[in-house]
Amino acid sequence: MRTGLPAPPLLLLILLTLVAFAGNSLLCRLALRHTGIDAASFTTIRLVSGAAILWLIARGRPVDAAGRGNWGSAFALFAYAAAFSFAYLHLTVATGALLLFGAVQGTMIGYGIWKGERLRFLHIAGILLAILGLVGLLLPGLSAPPLGSSMLMLAAGVAWGIYTLRGKNAGDPTKVTAGNFLRAAPMAVVLSLLTLQHAVLDQAGLGYALASGALASGIGYVIWYAVVPQLKTSTAATLQLSVPVIAAVGGILFLGEPITIRLLLASATVLGGIALVVLRR
């Protein structure tokens, strides 16, 4: 039964999941900034460890639960993970999370429009507001993030949006996600082989990548898929608005990253615009 106000145990699970999603940004930035691991190796370890934990969890699912994943979704997952890692070479946690979230929601909203969803005034206003916020964030200036890395993170968001859309009605979410991670892992291994001359591994970087794959990605997704059926769609969409905020707080606490006026204004504009769209749909 769906409810708009989560019960305390459910609320705790939701909080854990949102922290896990934001944790991916924090763990990736921590690894690439404070350890020697390279972006390709981080991607590979993240996907391989995620595939391993999800495979173990999926083995315990009911036999009649359908879902295997597919190569198209696996490629979208790989494209997201790879672009995400390389983007965080030069982006702060907060900026990366905002760009990623904006691109994911923009992709899904755009797909809905393409499929014929009718737009009302508040929808249009929300979309324009979100676009304005992203443009304002990326405009040249002293506090503007690197354009190349920003484009990579936007591409990661589009890939994740596509992955999410392809996963609708694909079967048991845990089995589908496990199947997609298992298919995406070899793609990441190929990426690491192609960039082998730049490969660097150390114990701390390995630990961050394992935590991102097994905990923040693998277990985080399983918990989220367990709680989403118990929430209204609008509630689930609204809760996700907190992910860039949680990531920004993590960046401040653990990395000492600054929060600029430009980022604050862009965050308020982008998240406010998205909220107008998802709450009125």
Spatial separation of the C-alpha atoms in residues 45 and 205, rounded to whole Å: 10
Query: Is 62 buried (19+), middle (13-18) or exposed (0-12) by CB count in 10 A?
Result: exposed
What backbone torsions phi and psi does residue 3 show, to the nearest 5 degrees? -140, 150
Distances, alpha carbon 235 to alpha carbons 6, 71, 74, 113, 227, in Å: 9, 31, 28, 21, 11
Give domain status of residue 3, yes or no.
no
Residue 197 lies in a domain: yes
Asked if 263 and 99 touch (Cβ cutoff 8 Å), the reply is no
**49 belongs to a structural domain:** yes
DSSP code of residue 252: H
pLDDT for 281: 56
3 - beta bridge partners? 231
SS3 120: coil
Give the residue numbers spanning the domain of 182. 8-280
Burial of residue 115 (CB within 10 Å: 0-12, 13-18, 19+) is exposed
Strand partners, 211: none
Residue 163, beta-bridge partner list:
none
Domain-located, residue 107: yes
Q: Are 197 and 40 in contact (CB under 8 A)?
A: no
Would you state the structure tokens that stand for residue 72, as one six-digit string?
């198209």
Whole-number pLDDT of residue 64: 58
Give the number of other Cβ atoms within 10 Å of residue 148's Cβ.
11
252 found inside a domain: yes
**Stretches in the chain below the pLDDT threshold 50:** 1-5
Supply the pLDDT for residue 89.
96
pLDDT for the residue 112: 84
DSSP state of 231: B
The pLDDT value recorded for residue 109 is 85
Sign of CA dihedral 178, 179, 182, 188: negative
Q: Pick the closest to residue 226 from 49, 61, 81 (CA basis).
A: 61
In a domain, 2, yes or no: no
Is residue 198 one of the residues assigned to a domain? yes
Is the residue at 1 inside a domain?
no
Task: List pLDDT tens digits, range 67-110.
Answer: 788 999 999 999 999 999 999 999 999 999 999 998 998 898 88
**pLDDT of res. 118:** 81
Residue-level pLDDT at 258: 86
How many domains, the chain?
Answer: 1
